[in-house]
Structure 1
């Protein structure tokens, strides 16, 4: 099932609705990379609130998205990691050390705004 991606100003918000298959994760990577360029996005939020499990492939895919979009000039924030998912990730040694995370969508947006990427800006800066 494809992950919906919403455009909000210069940001993209991808809301993962269920556990992702490997194909879904690859499609999300491709879709975000394409849309970052098309919309000249400066920030991306990937909302994983609905995910009740995160395997190593899904975590690696999210890390890859963060690194790839960073190379295109867009900051990525992963939001909504559930407590039990965080616990399982730590137990399995899966980390997001080099990725920005936030509690929820509101905090993710606040982080991007503090970074100065400017939600709603249309002047290209």
Structure 2
């Protein structure tokens, strides 16, 4: 199963609406990096509103996606992180320091614009 990646101007928007298993997470990582490379996107918003729980492997993939996106020149904003997901990330030692977050997709887009403007 593939997670859709939408392009809006110079941004990529991702709303994860499926259960993340290992294979889906790896495919998402590859698809996102390819899309950043082919479009030259400057920013990415990843909406996690429907993600109830994550395990250590998915958390690591998410952390890797943020770091790899930055290497390709794209700033990532995470939106819709639920309390259980936040707790899991912290318990696993994944702090995503410097990664902007927002409560919802709309505010995430605004935050991304602010981050890119300086």
The change in CA–CA distance for 1:37 and 1:93 in structure 2 (over 3 A counts) is closer
Structure-2 residue corresponding to 1:114:
114
Distance 1:34 1:7 in 2: 13
Conserved 8 A contact 2:43-2:76: yes
1:96 is displaced (CA, Å) by 2.5
TM-score (norm 1): 0.83
Structure 2 regions of 5+ residues with no counterpart? Answer: none
Cα distance per residue 1:51-94 (max 9 Å; x no partner)? 11011111111111111110111001111111233234445544
Structure 1 regions of 5+ residues with no counterpart? Answer: 118-125
Q: Who wins on radius of gyration, i.e. which is larger?
A: 1
TM-score (norm 2): 0.88
Conserved 8 A contact 2:75-2:116: no
| Equivalent pairs, count | 117
Moved over 6 A (4+): none
Over aligned residue pairs, what C-alpha RMSD do you find? 1.7
Distance 1:116 1:23 in 2: 31
